[in-house]
Amino acid sequence: IQDMNFQTDTTSGKEGLELLANIREINLTLPVILFTAWGNIDLAVLGMRQGASNFFTKPWDNNRLIELISDTLNLDKHSSGKMSRTDLEEIYNFSSIIGNSKQLLEQLETAGKVANTRAPILIRGENGTGKDILAHAIHLNSDRKDQPFVKVNVGGISSSLFDSEMFGHVKGAFTDAKTDRQGRFEQADHGTIFLDEIGELSMDSQVKLLRVLQEGQFERLGSGQTIQIDVRIVAATNVDLEAAIKAGGFREDLFYRLNTIELHLPPLRERGKDKLELADHFLKHFAATYNKGSLQFSRQALDYLEQSPWKGNIRELRHAIERGVLVSSGQEIDFQQKSDSIDSQLPEVGSMSLDDMEKQMIIKTLKHTDYNISRTSELLGINRTSLYRRLEKYDIDV
């Protein structure tokens, strides 16, 4: 643990960076934690770039400092041992995540090893790769599994609503605040909060989130009373955050706070035979759900499953098989018509409700835009907030 400045009235951080460089020359793998004043947090970020493991700011809370040291030491031990699926299942519970590909198992091994720490985790991957499922699995493998798991699509929260939604409000804080209300962080106390679409968060909201990550406390809107919380942070994004930082759209200090541990979920096209394993799982699930009895894939369907690029990843595969089960008339499922052509057919009058049609239109548009939220909302003629409300209403994962 090292300071960034050692002389009176010195705030440049030059001495601290020089010491860090000397430590790295002697022992490249030694974990180093930096501490600095809140106003000099950019120095800590610079130190992270140069190899520091983590940082904290003055004044600090002793308990949180001890937790940070413990997590840093534990994480230093977690090098990949390339465990098999059988090995993983003997230690962890990843039954909700299907697959045996090397790329997936490496990520699950890391996820299992860090699940019991308090270290923030950033899950990266394309839309539809199952980032939310992995986040929940991490929670279930932690000592917080009996506490709340709160999922928040922060990309759908406007800057004006962020404080009320995330931190809560007291009665009278604004015109429609008729009663006190807990925010999402308070709901997740002692548990895990999953911040999905973190790359879409506004800059104003990023500043507020950074303070909670740094200090573990906040105030409800309209109240001066500080609330202390103990929450595990798991965030996810499909955005290139490094590019967003360069473009001025994402705070670099927040990035380093979120990705103490970084997991990458591979796209379905890179997971080999996992496609068939997932397809078989969905086939059995939907056959049972819709009382279709015993179904199997035709040879043509298996070829299509193997050859399709599955740009929407697991989500697209799941929807395609659900449709295939619904329209099947025999014991085999075939994909002679691609899913887009199936989608384009208008349903018979009375065969589905207006809500069903709206849901299918949203899904079709999402697929058309490769699950780009901004483009989808533009094509549907609604704003992003309205689209996120509908995604939640129809339980459509993005």
- Quick one: pLDDT at residue 237? 96
C-alpha distance from residue 364 to each of 13, 126, 159, 348 (Å): 53, 17, 29, 18
How far apart are alpha carbons 258 and 275 in whole angstroms? 30
Q: The tokens 């997971």 sit on which residue?
A: 271
Mean pLDDT, rounded, for 130-145: 96
C-alpha distance from residue 359 to each of 351, 356, 364 (Å): 14, 5, 9
Is residue 147 predicted with pLDDT exceeding 60?
yes
CB 1, CB 36: distance < 8 Å = no
- Quick one: pLDDT at residue 344? 45
Element (H or E) spanning 230, and its range? none
Instruction: Please report how many Cα atoms fall inside a 13 Å half-sphere around the Cα of residue 220, on the Cβ side.
Output: 20
Read off the pLDDT of residues 33-92 as tens digits, 9 standing for 90 and up.
888 775 456 677 678 778 787 777 777 778 878 877 887 777 665 555 567 888 888 889
C-alpha distance from residue 191 to each of 118, 130, 148 (Å): 10, 21, 5
**C-alpha radius of gyration, the chain, whole number:** 24
Q: Give 353 or 31, the one with higher predicted confidence.
A: 31
Mean pLDDT, rounded, for 160-167: 91
> Encoding tokens for residue 383?
């704003």
CB 69, CB 1: distance < 8 Å = yes
- Quick one: pLDDT at residue 383? 81
> Encoding tokens for residue 75?
């994480």
The band of 118, judged by pLDDT with boundaries at 50, 70 and 90, is confident
Virtual CA dihedral for 72, 77, 82, 87, nearest 10 degrees?
Answer: -100
Element (H or E) spanning 394, and its range? none
How far is CA 368 from its chain centroid? 23
How far apart are alpha carbons 286 and 283 in whole angstroms? 5
The band of 337, judged by pLDDT with boundaries at 50, 70 and 90, is very low
- Quick one: pLDDT at residue 313? 94
Rounded to a whole number of angstroms, the distance between the first and last alpha carbons of the chain is 40
How far apart are alpha carbons 228 and 231 in whole angstroms? 10
Three-state DSSP class for 212? helix
> Encoding tokens for residue 350?
């009375």
How far apart are alpha carbons 242 and 157 in whole angstroms? 22
- Quick one: pLDDT at residue 93? 93
C-alpha angle 366-359-156 in degrees, rounded to nearest 5? 60
How far apart are alpha carbons 42 and 48 in whole angstroms? 10
Read off the pLDDT of residues 228-270 as tens digits, 9 standing for 90 and up.
999 999 999 999 999 999 999 999 999 999 988 999 999 999 9
* Helix ranges restricted to H, the chain: 14-26, 41-49, 62-76, 85-91, 102-114, 131-140, 159-167, 184-187, 203-215, 241-246, 252-258, 274-289, 299-307, 313-327, 339-344, 354-368, 373-380, 384-393
CB 151, CB 195: distance < 8 Å = no
Structural domains of the chain sorted by starting position, each given as residue range(s) with its CATH number in brackets: 2-76 (3.40.50.2300), 85-266 (3.40.50.300), 269-393 (1.10.8.60)
How far apart are alpha carbons 13 and 142 in whole angstroms? 37
